[in-house]
């Protein structure tokens, strides 16, 4: 198969001072992309840019804040390269702030960067991506399945939902939007995962392995739109909303008796969009 190249395609990677974002930026630059390396810490951003340039690639640094300066990030791409083809929304912060108590400012910070920052840059980049038939990659997380860090899990669930919520609009605009739930060794996992077999396994899951799949989501040949994938360690699989067949009842007592059917996961049904789900539901009415 012919190698998937990004000859002079312009890519913004947010959170590109960290392990995952830097891995994406370097991989895409090796394949010919012109990369805007975005992050809040100039030292790590500059290091990523220097590595790319040292290996024959092209990149520029950008330290604007996704939470409040998304328009400036897009402007950096246009000023440097004149167009925009791909955005990887990867910027995120991890904290264990609960929804309740006296740490709500930390909770809000996670929302501002992880969710609102993703939406801000998506909004700012949308007109330019529509011009080029561009691609959007939204970074969610397996934390959507439940983790004892509610600010992170809730914000990443919102990012997951953005892929479904923007699918139709993206298709109409000629944009492809997909999501990734990444797993690879990073500074975040080093500080949050306890020592043990799982952590040792994570240390073998390299950002470069993950970058290979993310690169497909960035390419104009990507065959997906409006889908989310778990990816890492040379493996990827689709993650989606699904429902079981359900049960019928007329009273609370009826539904209590059928709790097993209502919570069962042996048979699951996937509806590709809200219209399909509504049609399924209407067909079940009796």
Residue-range domain boundaries for the chain: 10-239, 252-284
Catalytic, 248? Answer no
Catalytic residue among 24, 100, 152, 248: 152
For the segment 147-183, what is each residue's pLDDT rounded down to a tens digit?
778 899 999 999 999 999 999 999 999 999 999 999 8
| pLDDT score of 187 | 66
| 39 C-beta neighbours (distance < 10 Å), count | 27
Rounded Cα distance between 16 and 37, Å, is 6
For the segment 177-200, what is each residue's pLDDT rounded down to a tens digit?
999 999 887 766 666 666 765 666
- The reported pTM is 0.92
For the segment 236-257, what is each residue's pLDDT rounded down to a tens digit?
999 999 999 999 999 999 999 9
> Looking at 133-137, 194-198, 278-282, which range is the least confident one?
194-198
Rounded Cα distance between 86 and 131, Å, is 11
Residues 206-220: what's their mean pLDDT?
Answer: 94
Is 13 or 201 the better-scoring residue by pLDDT? 13
For the segment 228-240, what is each residue's pLDDT rounded down to a tens digit?
999 998 999 999 9
| pLDDT score of 146 | 81
Rounded Cα distance between 54 and 48, Å, is 10
117-132 and 70-81 helices, crossing angle to 10°: 30
Q: Which of 211, 234, 194, 210 is CA-nearest to residue 28?
A: 211
Q: What's the CATH number for 10-239?
A: 3.40.50.720
Res. 208 pLDDT band, cuts 50 70 90? confident
SS3 state of residue 240:
coil
């Amino acid at each position: 198969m012919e190698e998937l190249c990004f000859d002079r395609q312009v890519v913004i990677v947010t959170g590109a001072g960290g392990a995952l974002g830097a891995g994406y930026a370097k991989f895409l630059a090796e394949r010919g992309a012109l990369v805007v390396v975005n992050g809040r810490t100039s030292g790590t951003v500059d290091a990523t840019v220097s590595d790319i340039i040292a290996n024959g690639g092209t990149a520029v640094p950008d330290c604007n804040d996704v939470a409040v300066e998304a328009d400036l990030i897009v402007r950096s791409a246009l000023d440097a390269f004149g167009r925009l083809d791909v955005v990887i929304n990867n910027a995120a912060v991890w904290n264990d702030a609960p929804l309740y108590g006296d740490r709500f400012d930390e909770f809000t910070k996670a929302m501002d960067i992880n969710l609102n920052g993703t939406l801000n840059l998506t909004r700012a980049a949308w007109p330019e991506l529509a011009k080029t038939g561009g691609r959007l990659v939204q970074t969610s997380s397996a934390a959507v399945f439940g983790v004892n860090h509610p600010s992170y899990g809730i914000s990443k669930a919102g990012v997951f939902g953005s892929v479904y919520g923007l699918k139709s609009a993206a298709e109409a605009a000629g944009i492809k939007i997909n999501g990734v739930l990444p797993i690879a060794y990073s500074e975040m996992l080093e500080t949050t995962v306890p020592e043990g077999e799982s952590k040792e396994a994570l240390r073998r899951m390299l950002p470069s392995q993950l970058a290979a799949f993310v690169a497909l989501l960035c390419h104009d040949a990507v065959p997906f739109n409006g889908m989310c994938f778990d990816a890492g360690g040379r493996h990827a699989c689709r993650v989606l909303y699904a429902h079981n067949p359900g049960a019928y009842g007329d009273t609370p007592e009826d539904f209590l008796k059928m709790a097993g059917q209502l919570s069962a996961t042996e048979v699951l049904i996937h509806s590709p969009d809200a219209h399909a789900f509504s049609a399924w539901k209407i067909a079940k009415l009796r």
